Structure 1
Amino acid sequence: MTLPPGWTSRRLSQLGELCSGSTPSSSRKEYWNGATVWVTPTDLSRLNTPYLYDSAKHITERGLRNCSAPLLPAGSIVLSSRAPIGYVAIPTAPFCTNQGCKSIALHDSYHSEFIYYAVTAIVPRLKQLGEGTTFAEISKSSLAKVEVVLPSDKAEQSKIAEVLSTVDRAIEQTEVLIAKRQRIKTGLTQELLTCGIDEHGNLRSEQTHEFKDSPLGRIPVEWESASLAVFVPSADYGISTSLGEFGSPVLRMNNLLNGEAELSDLKFTDAPVPEHLWLKDGDVLFNRTNSWEHVGRTGIWRGQIERATFASYLVRLNPHPDKLLPEMLNFWLNSDRVQIAMRRQATPAVQQVNINPTNLRSIPAAFPTDLDEQRAIAVRIAAVNEVLNASRKHLNKLKSVKAGLMHDLLTGDRRVTALLQSQKEEVGA
C-alpha cells in the first residue's frame, strides 16, 4: 500500500504501552467497591459512543496492588480482546481492566480519538487473530504486531477525528430521536387499536364513550370481537420452488421490513406461477417460520412492480372485504401486543419456530365494524410510521456517510489539509 505524503505505518505496540488486564480475587471484599474503574468486555459492548465514562464494577487501591492489572491514564485506548472481540473505547478516567481487555497508554504524539477510529476500522482484521479452542482471544504478542496507518502530524489526526466524531454525534442524536418516536408510535398505536376514533376524529375513552366487555378486555361498543378467523377467513401459502437470479420476482422474509414489503435483495424463479399466487396491491404477507426474532414478521404489498409472487414460508392473509381493511390488519399484526400473542401460538422446530396460519387465526381480535373508522385509524398510524421511517432512512444515510469517511480519511485517500489550512488562516486573522 502506497501511503500519501506525511503518513506512516505504526504497529500498535509503537503507539504507546500495550497492556493486559487482570482480576483481583473475587472472594476478598476489601478488593472491591472502591474508586478505580475496572473495565470488562461487557462494559465496552454496552457503549454506543467512543467514550467510556464508568464501569459496572470498581476496585480498591488494595485490589489494584494485589493483581497485575496496571492503572492506565484517561485517554488511553481499551479493546475487548476476548470473546466478544472488537469493542473499542476511550476511558475518561484512570482505569484498569480484566483479562478480557487489552489497552494502549498512548504516547503524546498520538490523538486518542483518531487512534480509536483507526483501531475500530481494523476490527475485522483483529477478529481473525482470535485464538483458542474454548473461546476466541487475541494475545498481546499478536496484537502488538498489528499495524495502522496514520498522519505523522497530530493536528491532522485531530481534524480527522473531529470530522468522524461529528458524524458519530449526528448518528447518536438520530438514534435517540428514533427511540423517542418509536415510544410515541407504540403508545399511540396501542390506543388506536384498542379504543379507536369516534365520528368526530377523537380518540375514544371510557370517560367519554361507551365500552363493553370482551375476551380482550374493554372495547368500544361499536367494535366486533371474535377470533381472527372471522375477520380473515382464508390464507394462501406461497410458491415452493428453487430461487435464483432470473425469472419472476419472489418475496421472502427479508423483504418484509417495518410492516412494509420492500424490494432489496430480491430472488427470482423461472418456474410457472399459479395465477392465484401473483401478488395484488394490498396483500398482507406473514412470515410463518423462522427464528423467534423473525417469525411473525408482517408486511403489506403495495404493487411496487407489476408481477411478483411470494415464497412458501410466507403466507398471504385474506381479510373479509366487509369486515377488515388490509391496512388495519397489517398494523394490528405488527403491534407489540399481537406479536406477543402470535408467539404464544408458535410451535418449536429444529433451530426455528413455526406459526401455523390456522393457529394464527385462532387469536382473539377486535376491530371497528365501520370500515371508515378502520381507515381513519390506519391513516393516523401511517402518518406516525412515515415520520419514523424518514428518521430511519436518515440514520442509514448517516451510517453510509460514516463508512465512506472512515475508509477515505483513515487511509489518506481524502486529506483534511484544506481544513487545517483554513483553520490556521482563521487563527492568523
Structure 2
Amino acid sequence: MNAPQGWNTGTLHEVAHITMGQSPDSKYYSEEEIGLPFLQGCAEFQARFPLPRLYCSNSKKIAKQGAILFSVRAPVGRQNIAERDYVIGRGLAAIQGKQVAQPYLEHFLASETPNFSTASQGSTFEAINSTELASWPVIYPDDHAEQSKIAEVLSKVDSAIAQTEALIAKQQRIKTGLMQDLLTRGIDEHGQVRTEASHAFKDSPLGRIPVEWDVMEIDQLVSRVGSGVTPTGGESVYTADGILFLRSQNVHFDGLRLDDVAYIPSHIHHSMMRSEVVENDVLLNITGASIGRCCRMPKINIHANTNQHVCTIRLRDVDEARAGFLAAVLQSHIGQHQIGQLNAGGNREGLNYQQVRSFHVPWPSDRSEFVRIYDQIKRMNAVVAHHSVSLDKLRHLKTALMQDLLTGKVRVTHLLLQIEAASA
C-alpha cells in the first residue's frame, strides 16, 4: 500500500487499541439491567447503535463508549458504534484510534469490508483472528485536520443516504396502506376511494369489496399460464445479445431488472415460442427463494422468453391497466398470503400452474376503474422510484469518495485552505 506525500501507513495495532471480545460464562447473563449491556456479535447491529438483548455482570472484555464495534465472525467486517460501554463476546472486537482520529478510522474500516470478507479464515464459518486484525494495513494522512475533513465529507454523504433511506421507508409504508384501499375499495367515478359509509359493499372470499366488483379465479381471466425451460446446455448457450432470456433474478416487485440478464440465440427462441413473453404479461417467480416476486412486462424493443422458474400470466382481455392491476394484487398481501398458504409445510418452495390458476383476485366490473386505480399505483411507484434513484446515486458517490479520499488519490487540502482563508 503506497502512501502519497503527507500520508503514512501502519498496522491497525499501531494506530489503534484493539480489544478482542470473550464470551463470559452464561451464569453472568441476564435480561434484567444488571451490569453492562452484552453484545455477542453483530446480530444486534440493526440500527446505528446496537440493540442489546442481554446484560452481563462480568465486565472482563469491554468496548468503551465511542469505540468501533467490529464483527470478527461472519459477516466479518460489519461495524457499529458503542454509544455507551458494552461487554463484548468473542464475535466482536472493539477498536479505538490512537494515531488516527476515530471518525476517519471508522470510514477507513468500512471501506475495507470487502477485503475483510475475502481475507477471513475458517473451515465452518468465516472469521478473522486477533493477529490478522492487528496486522491489517491502514493508510492515513499525517495531519489530523485532513483526517477530520475526510471523515466530515463522508459523514455528510452517510447522513444523506440515511435520510433518503428513511424517506423511501416512509413512502413504502404510505404505499402499502394506499394499496390496501385501492385493491379492496377501488376508486369511484368521482375519483374518490370508496368507503362503506358512502358506497355499498358485500362479503367475498377476500373480505369486504364493493358491490360492483367480483372475486375471480385467475383461470377465469387468462388465455395462458405457463413458463419456459432452461435450454439444453444451460448457461453455455447464452449469448451476448439476441433474444432476452428472463430468469427469476430479473423479476422484482418494482419491475424488471436487467443488469444481470441473459440472451439466447434466435433458433432456441423459435423452439420455445410457446413461452415467448410479450408486453402486459404478468411475470411471477414460482420457485426458489424469490417465489412470489412479480411484475408487469413492459414494452421492450426486442423479443423475450423465459425459463421454467418464471411463470407467464396472460390475460384474455388485456391492456396496461388490467395487467398492472393484476400484478399489484399478486404483489399485495392478497396474492402473497395465498402464495404463503400454498407453500406452507412444503419441503421446497414452488408453485405449479394449477395453483396459480386457482388464485382469487378482486376484479372491478368497470373498465375505466382499472385505469383510475393503476394511475394511482403508477404515481406511487414513480415517487418511490425517484427516491431510489437518488439513493443509488448517493451510494455510488460514497463508494467513489471512499476510493478517492481514503487513499489520498484526491486530497481535501484545498478545502482546509479555504477554511483557513475564511477564518483569517
TM-score, normalised to structure 1, is 0.89
Q: Name the Cα RMSD after superposition.
A: 2.4
Q: Give yes or no for the alignment of 1:328 onto 2:318.
A: no
| Residue identity opposite 1:261 in structure 2 | L
Question: Residue 272 of structure 1 aligns to a residue in which SS?
Answer: helix
> How far apart, CA to CA, are the structure 2 residues paired with 1:214 and 1:390?
36
User: Structure 1 runs of 4+ off > 6 angstroms?
Assistant: 29-32, 347-350
Distance 1:296 1:320, change over 3 A: same
State the match for 2:34 in structure 1: 34
SS at the partner of 1:325?
Answer: helix
Between 317-326 and 242-251, the greater mean CA deviation after superposition: 317-326
The aligned counterpart of 1:11 is: 11
Q: 1:349 to 1:165 in 2, by over 3 A?
A: same
The answer on whether the counterparts of 1:182 and 1:388 sit within 8 Å (CA) in structure 2 is yes
**CA offsets, 1:360-418, max 9 Å, x none?**
12122221011111111111111101101111111111111111111111111111011
User: What residue in structure 1 maps to residue 256 of structure 2?
Assistant: 261
Match of 2:219 in 1: 229
Q: CA deviation at 1:426?
A: 1.4
Q: CA deviation at 1:22?
A: 2.6
**Any idea what the Cα deviations from partners look like across 1:148-201, whole Å, max 9, x if unmatched?**
111111111111111111111111111111111001101101111011111111
Whether 2:291 is the aligned partner of 1:290: answer no
Aligned partner of residue 126 in structure 2, secondary structure: coil
How many residue pairs get matched?
415
State the alpha-carbon separation in 1 of the partners of residues 21 and 344 from structure 2: 45
Relative to structure 1, is the Cα distance of residues 425 and 36 closer, same or farther in structure 2, using a 3 angstrom cutoff?
farther
The Cα of 1:32 is off from its aligned counterpart by: 6.7
C-alpha distance 32-285 of structure 1, shift in aligned 2 (>3 A)? closer
Is the contact made by 1:15 and 1:104 (CA closer than 8 Å) also made in structure 2? no
Q: 1:32 to 1:314 in 2, by over 3 A?
A: closer
Amino acid paired to 1:34: I
**Residue 155 of structure 1 aligns with which residue?**
145
Q: SS at the partner of 1:148?
A: strand
Mapping for residues 177-188 of structure 1, pairs under 5 Å:
177-188=167-178
Task: Give yes or no for the alignment of 1:387 onto 2:383.
Answer: yes
CA distance in 1, matches of 2:345, 2:382: 35
1:112 pairs, out of 84, 102, 110, with 102
Unaligned runs of 5+ in 2: none
Q: How does 1:173-252 map to 2 (within 5 A)?
A: 173-241=163-231, 242=234, 243-246=237-240, 247-252=242-247
1:21 is the counterpart of 2:29: no
Paired with 1:118 and 1:100, the residues of 2 have a C-alpha distance of: 21
- The answer to whether residue 86 in structure 2 is matched with residue 91 in structure 1 is no
CA distance in 2, matches of 1:399, 1:87: 17
Once the two structures are superposed, what CA deviation does each residue of 1:344-372 show, in whole Å capped at 9, x if it has no partner? 2238877x421112101212222101111
Q: Compute the displacement of 1:219 (Å).
A: 1.2
CA contact (8 A) 1:90 1:113 kept: no
1:79 to 70, 75, 78: 70
Give the conservation status (yes or no) of the 8 Å contact 2:29–2:55.
no
Q: Is the 8 A contact 1:348 1:354 kept in 2?
A: no
Report % sequence identity.
31
Which one is further off, 115-124 or 254-263? Answer: 254-263
2:401 is the counterpart of 1:405:
yes
What are the Cα deviations for residues 301-334 of structure 1, in whole angstroms up to 9, with x where unaligned? 2222232222232221111317982121111111
Contact kept? 2:44, 2:50, Cα under 8 Å? no
Match of 1:345, SS? helix
Given residue 235 of structure 1, which amino acid in structure 2 is its aligned partner? V
The answer to whether the 8 Å contact 1:53/1:93 transfers is no
Structure 1 contact 347–354 (Cα < 8 Å) conserved:
no
Provide the rounded CA distance (Å) in 2 between the counterparts of 1:285 and 1:186. 21
Q: Is the 8 A contact 2:13 2:134 kept in 1?
A: yes
Q: Secondary structure at the match of 2:195?
A: coil
Q: Which amino acid aligns with 1:249?
A: L
Comparing 190-199 with 329-338, greater Cα deviation is found at 329-338
- SS state at 2:268 partner: coil
Q: Deviations over 1:42-62 (max 9, x none)?
A: 355323x3xx366333334xx
Q: Work out whether residues 228 and 363 of structure 1, in 8 Å CA contact, stay in contact via their aligned partners in 2.
A: yes
Q: Distance in 2 between matches of 1:386 and 1:329?
A: 18
